[in-house]
Structure 1
Amino acid sequence: MKRTESGRNVSSVRWRLVLASTTMLFVELALIRWAGANVVHLSYFSNFILLGSFLGIGIGFLIPAARGQWLKRWTPVPLALLVVLVREYPVQVRQSSSEVIYFTAVKATGLPEWVTLPAIFLLTAVIMAGIGKITADLFRQLPSLDAYRYDLLGSITGSVSFAALSWLRAPSVAWGLLAAAALLVLGGRRNTLLYGIPLTAMVAALFLETTTSGISWSPYYKIELKPSTTANRTYRIAANGVPHQSTAPLPVLMRENSPYRQAYDRTPRNPHKRVLVIGAGNGNDVAVALAHGAERVDAVEIDPRLQEIGADLHPAKPYDDPRVHVHIGDGRAFLERTDTEYDLIVLALPDSLTLVAGASNLRLESYLFTREAFEAARDHLAPDGAFAMYNYYRKSWLVDRFAGGLDEVYGHAPCITTFKRNAAVLVTGMTPADQSCEQTWRPSGAVPPAATDDHPFPYLLHRTVPTLYLGALGAILLVTLLSVRLAGVRIRSTVRYTDMFLLGAAFMLLETKSVTGFALYFGTTWLVNALVFFGVLVAVLAAVEVRRRLRRVNQLLLQLLLFASLAVAWLVPAQAVLSLPFAGRLAAAIALAFAPIFCANLIFSDRLAQAADPTSAFGANLLGALTGGALEYLALVTGYQALLLVVAVLYLGACVAMRVAGRGPGARPAPVPDEKVVLDPK
């Protein structure tokens, strides 16, 4: 049996590459979840951790095989340092932007974001650079497509593993134990002590977190449950360190001028027999609906743990009532699939404290507050029905945006009841006669246009990238250049892989468009998100398998197919897909999202097969993905559909770069390398 120079056989290198790639993606996903849960407001900036991961992995792949071995030896140290520092010295990302709203009820303490974000970003980059270096050194011991194939298998395994832990609602110590075990295996016997000490410290810190009273994990949040100081046996619920909900006894909910009552007080002619509550949470709104005589209440809540807390601990026990039907999932997706007509639909405090993974600024509830969502709710109301929404909106312009959107959709101004801190309840009937207002909404100034499904950013005042984001992104790109240089990577030597860099940037944007599209069509749930990432990886793996079986590739044909699939995705409106029945919608979404990904990765796989230095080419591709992650923020200005134009421009640039370098459609195709073993350069 053939062996590498280091004496390991090919199968050993392959399974270690799978394990390294699994660990790489698993740790990346765990860092995004855990850091966002422990650093207040970081869940609004989770894309920065993703960009730090791409930077680290890219550097790990670009460092030559004979250099950077210290990164591999010290990989667990920055990981333990990040965990221990965050646990022992909690910090917060301050939010003071007048351009975008963050939901919180805590006073910002700790370090400012210009200190916190770079520290977390750099630690993440160093962690992932170490794991990336381990992966890269295994990658370069195999033929390029063979290595990429097993790297993808590892990525799929890491994605599925983390999704399984999310489904099980496993605590953070479980993530730490799995990561530690994988790193110990990858480190080998020689590094057992060097790896064991910091990894033990990391697991111990996570164990202390897990065993803290009242701490539990949902697929979205780290949840902290505390009993109220009052004697009525109520509870306060914090999510990701921010006060989020609290249970309340029915007399408190029903007292005069309570926000919970306004939807019913403002619609006295409404029978309130069939009620839909979106954002049911611990059950306060469900209890109020039952108290007003509802015969059926559909309670939609995206987070299963929040609903469980209400079912177990709410003093009114609303979820025990047989009239209540619980639906765990996304509220917009529920509206798209139900045929039920309701007397009243309530958006009950649906503000999330986290982003949809893989989408730069899409929050879990973003698609609930678009013009199309208001229309979908209207279409599910009985002829004399009503729609209500309320929250602590923080800014008067946000109240005006939502009220103006309702005015536009229903053809008349809604009722408004205001409270402290720009809290407001908006109620609108199907006709003016179906609502009874003490106060009718009047704009306080210029009314911002309603958010749309293409631009689902209701908390963003103008179509612009906030200066907070611009500053952070600029710093990230500067740190990237410095890091690449300090790592000893010659930037000039990577210019030959400009096409790979552009392919990476385009693919990252294409992946984002896929995530946001599926979130609109099927909901912003963790499961939909996990399935999309799984589908993307499977599509990429399928492209690799096809390329491995082809002796020659017609690059021109592939490029034409890629641009044709992008054109179709651009031309098909989202509403046309939403109007289809579930099976048709699923088929259309898969075709529109994965056809460009498949074609693009056939091109990428062919280019990787021809690369003189596949590991460096892959590293350049990862740095391109980092740039693509920064370009995602263009959606704040253009909307998501226009990202396809940016994708097309980037792919066009990649195709031109290939032709200039002599690797384009006019170049002589290179055969797929055979399955011989590539000797370790060391």
Structure 2
Amino acid sequence: MGFIYIISYGFLQTYWSPYYKVVKNGLNISVNSMSHQSMRPASDAGLLWHHPYTVFNKSFDDVLIIGSGSGTDTAVALYHNVSSIDAVEIDPVIIELGKKYHPTNPYGEPSVNVINTDARSYLMQSDKKYDLIIYGLTDSLTLLSSYGNLRLESYLYTVDAFREVKSHLREDGFFHRNAYPDRWFTDKLALMFYEAFDQNPYVLSFNDSNTILTLVGAPVDGLAKPAYVISTDVSAATDDWPFFYLRKPSIPKIYVDALLTIILVTIAFFVVAGPKSLYRINPHFFFLGAAFMLLETKSIVNFSLLYGSTWVVDSLVFFSILLMVLLAVYFVERHETGSMRMWFALLFILLSANYLIPLSVFLSHDLLSRYVYASLFFFSPIFVANVIFSSSFKDAKESNIDYASNILGSMVGGLTEYLSLLFGYSNLIIIAALFYFLAFYKIRR
């Protein structure tokens, strides 16, 4: 599972999980060279861990811990005599470290059910009810994919996800989440709680540095609800705009500066070093490349929501995309494609269906059927788009210019993907459709 090495200040064990480089230093765990979590017995855990079990003077029989990590949240639940615990953690290596090295071995208790999967996927597929649901260590510190701005936990922090949490709570159930020192993070969480549960959360502060948000499903005797004014200076994250770490829809300045630098360096390179022949582009292939990148990004986003943000899902997505490309090339090689008008018309119909039909229509099917139906639905535009590209490239008279134009268009499509930070992911389909219309308008046949 990994290798071990020793350096002067301690004994380190390094592992590679599907998501991170994981380093264990004693009872501390870092991921990708950043401190991440520690394996503590319940007696050494801080007030934040014990809060939901003490402040309401209530015992809990069934508890769900989302982002259970190496087991500290689970150890605290056991300390408070919870009779049944479902611990959901996405990273198999961190689970194994908890099983092997946690000082109280909470994952070895018969009352604990460890579930290695994406938490949002678990919420979608399970119908179990709980007395308490805790968001534990869900800050992944890593991106889901280089094709989008999503983090592994992005779809856990949306109003839609909180509504699913609500559906898993009993009538007198609780939902607990530690917040952050920054006030606007607390404002954003409180707003999302309010929209999902139709009530203000309890907001408790400790030492002016750590904030706890606990949402109560039913009134609690003897507990005065702290006043909290829902802020309008933040925007709630949704499944379409799943950017919990942005205050409002915007493109951060650091992104804008980086994108402008890339564009200027690229232009300077072509002006200074590029041959004159590269100054020409084929607009048809340019727009095909730009649109395809947006389709690919949207496919990854859709499958992450339907199946969870796991490495298996990513593998299935790229397998499906490459399969559609291969089938399109095979089709063009063996058959006459006819008029491009027909293929563009079919493509626009499929893009419209992808924009208008909600993902929820796929959730009623079993896992295998959902994968088959969703693949056909989301990847059929990719097949048609590649039929158009392959047919056009087959007749290309300047294949070097056409291919270079397509690659340049792909770069522009990748840059355009950042508009999702402003308008959400569903609107990428509209932008892709506009690029395909321009490709159709500029076609050379």
Common fold, TM-score beyond 0.5? yes
Which residue of the partner structure matches residue 93 of structure 2?
A: 305
Moved more, 486-495 or 460-469: 486-495
Query: Residue 280 of structure 1: which of 68, 71, 81 is its match?
Result: 68
Structure 1 residues 376 and 444, CA gap change in structure 2 (3 angstroms): closer
Q: Rg: which structure is higher?
A: 1
Kindly indicate whether residue 258 of structure 2 is the aligned counterpart of residue 472 of structure 1.
yes
The answer (yes or no) to whether the contact 1:410–1:431 under 8 Å persists in 2 is: no
Which residue of the partner structure matches residue 535 of structure 1?
A: 320
C-alpha distance in 2 between matches for 1:326 and 1:452: 28
The answer (yes or no) to whether the contact 2:190–2:201 under 8 Å persists in 1 is: yes
The answer (yes or no) to whether the contact 1:540–1:597 under 8 Å persists in 2 is: yes
C-alpha distance in 1 between matches for 2:147 and 2:199: 34
Question: How far off its partner does 1:420 sit?
Answer: 5.1
Question: How far off its partner does 1:438 sit?
Answer: 5.8
C-alpha distance in 1 between matches for 2:84 and 2:275: 64
Structure 1 residues 493 and 474, CA gap change in structure 2 (3 angstroms): closer
C-alpha distance in 1 between matches for 2:75 and 2:337: 66
Structure 2, unaligned stretches of length 5 or more? none
Equivalent pairs counted in the alignment come to 440
Which residue of the partner structure matches residue 589 of structure 1?
A: 374
Structure 1 residues 438 and 615, CA gap change in structure 2 (3 angstroms): farther
TM-score, reference length from structure 1 = 0.62
Which residue of the partner structure matches residue 607 of structure 1?
A: 392
Structure that is richer in helix per residue? 1
Structure 1, unaligned stretches of length 5 or more? 1-168, 172-207, 228-234, 664-682
The answer (yes or no) to whether the contact 2:63–2:131 under 8 Å persists in 1 is: yes
Tell me: higher relative CO, structure 1 or 2? Use CA pairs within 8 A at least 6 residues apart.
Answer: 1
Question: How far off its partner does 1:296 sit?
Answer: 1.6
Which residue of the partner structure matches residue 124 of structure 2?
A: 336
Query: Residue 420 of structure 2: which of 629, 635, 646 is its match?
Result: 635
The answer (yes or no) to whether the contact 2:89–2:95 under 8 Å persists in 1 is: yes
Kindly indicate whether residue 106 of structure 2 is the aligned counterpart of residue 318 of structure 1.
yes
Helix, strand or coil at the partner of 1:562: helix
The answer (yes or no) to whether the contact 2:348–2:433 under 8 Å persists in 1 is: yes
C-alpha distance in 2 between matches for 1:589 and 1:482: 43
Question: How far off its partner does 1:414 sit?
Answer: 1.7
Structure that is richer in strand per residue? 2
Which residue of the partner structure matches residue 262 of structure 1?
A: 51
Question: How far off its partner does 1:437 sit?
Answer: 4.3
C-alpha distance in 2 between matches for 1:476 and 1:420: 44
Question: How far off its partner does 1:379 sit?
Answer: 0.3
Kindly indicate whether residue 17 of structure 2 is the aligned counterpart of residue 214 of structure 1.
no
The answer (yes or no) to whether the contact 2:343–2:384 under 8 Å persists in 1 is: yes
Identity fraction in percent: 37
Q: Give the letter aligned to residue 276 of structure 1.
A: L
The answer (yes or no) to whether the contact 2:41–2:75 under 8 Å persists in 1 is: no
Helix, strand or coil at the partner of 2:425: coil
Question: How far off its partner does 1:421 sit?
Answer: 7.2
Q: Give the letter aligned to residue 241 of structure 1.
A: S
C-alpha distance in 2 between matches for 1:170 and 1:499: 48
Structure 1 residues 603 and 341, CA gap change in structure 2 (3 angstroms): same
Question: How far off its partner does 1:493 sit?
Answer: 5.0
Question: How far off its partner does 1:476 sit?
Answer: 0.8
Helix, strand or coil at the partner of 2:280: helix
Question: How far off its partner does 1:406 sit?
Answer: 1.3
Kindly indicate whether residue 237 of structure 2 is the aligned counterpart of residue 237 of structure 1.
no
Helix, strand or coil at the partner of 1:351: coil
Kindly indicate whether residue 24 of structure 2 is the aligned counterpart of residue 225 of structure 1.
yes
Structure 1 residues 444 and 554, CA gap change in structure 2 (3 angstroms): closer
Which residue of the partner structure matches residue 456 of structure 1?
A: 242
Which residue of the partner structure matches residue 413 of structure 1?
A: 200
Structure 1 residues 415 and 265, CA gap change in structure 2 (3 angstroms): farther
Structure 1 residues 260 and 484, CA gap change in structure 2 (3 angstroms): same
The answer (yes or no) to whether the contact 1:407–1:413 under 8 Å persists in 2 is: yes
Kindly indicate whether residue 213 of structure 2 is the aligned counterpart of residue 426 of structure 1.
yes
